Amino acid sequence: MAYKQEIKQISIDKLIEYDRNPRINDHAVDKIAAAIKEFGFRVPIIARSDGLIVDGHLRLKAAKKLGLNSVPVLLAENMSETQIKAFRISVNKMAELADWDLELLKLEFDDLKAEDYDLELTGFSEDEINNLYPDFNPAEAEDQSKLDVISSKIVECPNCGHEFDSSK
């Protein structure tokens, strides 16, 4: 099934939101807008030739928030109305099917942290990122002084049996 796919810059005024879009996404607009600002508009909106959005409602909301006049659009040519309806559902559902390899994800975050990159631009919240590192529990500021106190502990040498205070 070979067909030409062309991405065009189209005025956001010509794009029409599908009124039966089942995705609830207003809470995600700020994150998508931040990603578009950082990376550019890398994933085009998919729309019919009359401007009705097939996929990309959230990206359109973010574009409006950023004050963009036009966005890249891939026209959904060679698709029937039935295919468009099914595609709208499947393209959103498919992303939910994948899982994360948490060890590889942590390696990616480690690389980004080493570059002092704003990790929340990845779409993950600070809590989600911190949950990837369960062994790291930063102390509260008022607990910091407790870390400076060396507690006394009697240790016995396994070779000679001599006991000594480890804090000295």
Structural domain harbouring 106: 102-165
pLDDT of the residue at 66: 98
DSSP 151: P
pLDDT digits (tens, 9 = 90+) for 39-89: 999 999 999 999 999 999 999 999 999 999 999 999 998 899 999 999 999
Query: Which residue, 36, 25, 91, 89, is CA-closest to 67?
Result: 36
pLDDT of residue 147: 57
Phi-psi region of 7 (alpha: psi -120 to 50; beta: other; left: phi over 0): beta
| 83/117 same-domain check | no
> Which residues, in sequence order, are bridge partners of residue 156?
163
**Domain total of the chain:** 2
- Between the CA atoms of 73, 77, 81 and 83, what dihedral angle is there, to the nearest 10 degrees? -90
- Please give the structure tokens belonging to residue 143: 């607990």
Q: Residue 59: what pLDDT? A: 98
pTM flag (> 0.85): no
Q: Do both 76 and 115 map to the same domain?
A: no
